[in-house]
Amino acid sequence: MNFLTYSRLALTIGVSALLLHMVSCSKDTTESLVPTETSSFDLIQQKILTPSCATSGCHLSDKDAAYFQHGLVLVEGVAYQNLVGVDPKNSSAKADGLKRVKAYASLESLLYHKITTTASHHSGKQYGNPMPLGGISLSDGQVEFVRRWIDAGAPKTGTIADAALLSDKTITEVAYEPLAVPATGTGFQMAVPSFDIQPNFERELFTRKMLGNTQDVYVNRYETKMQSGSHHFVAYDFRNKTSLPNLNDIRDLRNPDNSLNILTALTMSNHVYLAGSQAQYQDYVFPEGMALLIPAGASFDLNSHFVNKTAAVRKGEAQINLYTVDKSKVKNIVQTLDLSNTSLSLPANTRVTLTKTFTFSKPRKVLTLTSHMHKLGEKFVIKIVGGARNGEIVYTSTDWENPEIITFKIPIDLQKGEGLMSEITYNNTTNKAVSFGLTSEDEMGIIFGYYYE
């Protein structure tokens, strides 16, 4: 082969190799430009968790006050591991065997219950209010997308639900079904009738209602229910029954300009806790042989507090049923605990633990304990003061929205001079000092419960 022929052959081989390389590169480049389909969980993160849960501040960081109530961060990168297969902090959900997300079982997943708009999904359990509280509910399509993802095994990768569901903006408003009135002779109902909550406003009101009992009755069970978006619903008795608000008047705690209604606030100093809940639905039964004694002709102040974070007017409504039992079945009369620390001073951007001791002038047997604090409250501890059990912790709650309600199988036996102490840790993440007050922007620290002597 002469030099010229060799040169032509080398050139031909070189050009061919170059062309093959260019084709290969072109193929690789084309394939790299083909977008990879976003996984179903990543879509949930992008379309639901980040905008509706994380950026709202509720599930943004383990440094936020709210974290100590729910223990759940839902930001990108950690949300999956914090949800799938993890036990919930909600005691009722945990006792029922739920997980935050249980693969292949949406009805056993607390996440699914929390994003639905009706308490019927809760089967009467205290799983807390649907989220976001006071905000716009997830669309039907978003809820269905999450359900399908869970029931398909809740995978971290892969596409198992139709992404078009996330574009569905339909929100089906579930009609509120009030509690049925107890049958004659079995109990009584008191109700806060339907009322408006203005846009971006918290409305808290009181209304005094007659129970309707013409003779003394014994209550061994109460049932409460309220519209979605409620912070709490409480029935109060009165310390001084010679000075009572007018019957059936609606008394707002805040004026339309959000200023405090002083006259309504003053009536609160006369309150004694009777029954209540921070859950959308609750059914509480006293242990056998125990009941509250309600005198004939009783009236109670019904306190309803709703949050509206939307741009539209929303509705509030609530009922409480008090169920009665024959006197012959009652061995012990139950009375209410209402122990409040009003000396709260929370400096801005500071975590502080405050305590208050309550001693009793005569023996008491404590049957039930629960707590009430607002959103800056991280941890509510109740300890025994005095006696052989001095300093013993008998109650702990880290969930301000749905605090533990503990009924002791063996009541706490406290002698004269002994008592209870509240030890509450607050994390004031705001840039202003916070003190005791009546709105969710203020704070509280109250031991509620029941005892008998």
How far is the C-alpha of 73 from the C-alpha of 70, rounded, in Å? 9
For residue 260, give the DSSP letter: B
Q: List per-residue pLDDT tens for the chain, 453 residues long.
A: 444 444 444 444 444 444 444 444 444 444 444 445 799 999 999 998 888 787 655 787 666 555 656 778 888 898 999 999 999 887 778 878 999 999 999 999 999 988 886 544 544 455 766 777 667 788 999 999 999 999 999 999 999 888 999 998 888 877 889 999 999 999 999 999 999 999 989 899 999 999 999 999 999 999 999 988 888 899 999 989 998 999 999 999 999 998 989 899 888 878 888 998 877 888 989 989 999 999 999 999 999 998 888 889 999 999 999 999 999 999 999 999 999 999 999 999 999 999 999 999 999 999 999 898 988 999 999 999 999 999 999 999 887 866 778 888 899 999 999 999 999 999 999 999 999 987 767 899 999 999 999
* Radius of gyration from C-alpha coordinates of the chain: 29
Phi first, then psi: give them for residue 161, nearest 5 degrees. -130, 150
Separation CA 139–CA 1 (nearest Å): 78
Measure the CA–CA gap between 381 and 421, rounded to whole angstroms: 8
CA 209 to chain centre: 27
Q: Which residues 6+ apart lie within 8 Å of 133 measured at CB?
A: 229, 231, 307, 309, 401
Token pair 């959103």 is found at 375
Q: For residue 277, what are its two tokens?
A: 């809940």
Residue the block writes with tokens 């997308």: 145
Q: Are 89 and 398 in contact (CB under 8 A)?
A: yes
Contacts of 120 (CB under 8 A, 6+ apart): none
Nearest to 414, CA basis, from 361, 340, 339: 361
Q: Taking the model in full, what pTM does it have?
A: 0.73
CA distance 273 to 261: 21
Extract the tokens encoding 257: 């300009």
In the structure encoding, which two tokens stand for residue 443, read together? 């704070």
